[in-house]
Chain A
Amino acid sequence: RKEVEQDPGPFNVPEGATVAFNCTYSNSASQSFFWYRQDCRKEPKLLMSVYSSGNEDGRFTAQLNRASQYISLLIRDSKLSDSATYLCVVNSNTGKLIFGQGTTLQVKP
């Protein structure tokens, strides 16, 4: 079993749609959680950290459920520029970042 699992998609949605990505992790001792965005053939960039209380950054909302070991990302009012791969990332209790496979989002006009 992979340490961080994501549905690879692709998710094809129209502009303005709301889309949700889910992720599960296996190590209950994991300390911190993130969503990264990666554009085609580019490096990953931090989108947002994820906290148990839930956090929002504009159109993006992230949630963490430690009991279920589940992380989510909600994107509202999708834009063409949101098209990218979204990586769920967990910091193991040893301090290294563990990436999921990534979920591909394609927003269409």
Chain B
Amino acid sequence: DAGVTQSPTHLIKTRGQQVTLRCSPKSGHDTVSWYQQALGQGPQFIFQYYEEEERQRGNFPDRFSGHQFPNYSSELNVNALLLGDSALYLCASSLDGRDYGYTFGSGTRLTVV
């Protein structure tokens, strides 16, 4: 039973560029949440997708956008990258947003130079 898979594992981008990160949820899960974890900090909630719609959003600018596909996989897009966007981006899947069933992927480490 595959867990949550994220791609790519590492990425280096230049300021001002755009990036797309991908996530495939655990089998049987239908909800995907994205988190940003800066060095030395806890993960910060970006947004959650359920039934192909953004159900909740954290305190992140509109440069951060996402999408969920009919197969429940999801993408996180970040436009106009800033140095401060350098972080570990974590995807977590669950069933209908239930918090006790969260499974995290191993993350994408984004470095903006």
- Report the interface size for chain B: residues with CB under 8 A from the other chain: 23
Name the residue on A nearest B106 (C-beta).
A43
Task: Give the contacting residue for B99; candidates A4, A87, A91, A101; CB below 8 A.
Answer: A91
Question: How distant is A18 from chain B, measured CB to nearest CB, in Å?
Answer: 24
A94's partner among B43, B56, B102, B107 (CB-CB below 8 A) is B56
Q: Would you list which residues of chain B between 83 and 103 have a CB under 8 Å from chain A?
A: 88, 90, 92, 97, 99-100, 102
Contact A45 B99 (CB under 8 A): no
Confirm or deny: B48 has a beta carbon within 8 angstroms of a beta carbon on chain A.
yes
Write out the residue numbers on chain B whose beta carbons fall within 8 Å of the beta carbon of A42: 106
User: Are B100 and A44 in contact, with the CB atoms below 8 A?
Assistant: no
Contacting residues of chain A (1-50) with chain B, CB-CB under 8 angstroms:
4, 8, 31-32, 34, 41-46, 49
Whether A97 lies near B106 (C-beta < 8 A) is no
Q: Which of B42, B105, B107, B109 has the most CB of A within 10 A?
A: B42
A32 close to B100 (CB less than 8 A): yes
- The chain B residue with its CB closest to the CB of A91 is B99
Q: In whole angstroms, what is the CA distance A43 to B9 when docked?
A: 12
Within the complex, which residue of B48, B56, B90, B97 is in contact with A43, where a contact is CB–CB below 8 Å?
A: B90
> Which chain B residues lie closer than 8 Å to A45 at the CB level?
104
**Is A96 a contact of B105 with CB atoms below 8 Å?**
no
Contacts of A100 in B (CB 8 A): 42
- From 57 to 103 in chain A, residues with beta carbon under 8 angstroms from any chain B beta carbon are 87, 91, 94-102
Q: A101-B42, A102-B42 are in contact. Are A96 and B33 (CB under 8 A)?
A: yes
- A108 CB → nearest B CB, Å: 21
**Chain B contacts for A98, CB-based, 8 A:** 45
A91 to B88, CA, bound (A): 21
Q: Is B16 an interface residue (CB 8 A)?
A: no
CB distance from A95 to the nearest CB of B (A): 5
Can you name 9 A-B pairs with beta carbons within 8 Å?
A41-B109, A43-B107, A45-B104, A87-B43, A95-B97, A96-B56, A99-B42, A101-B42, A102-B41
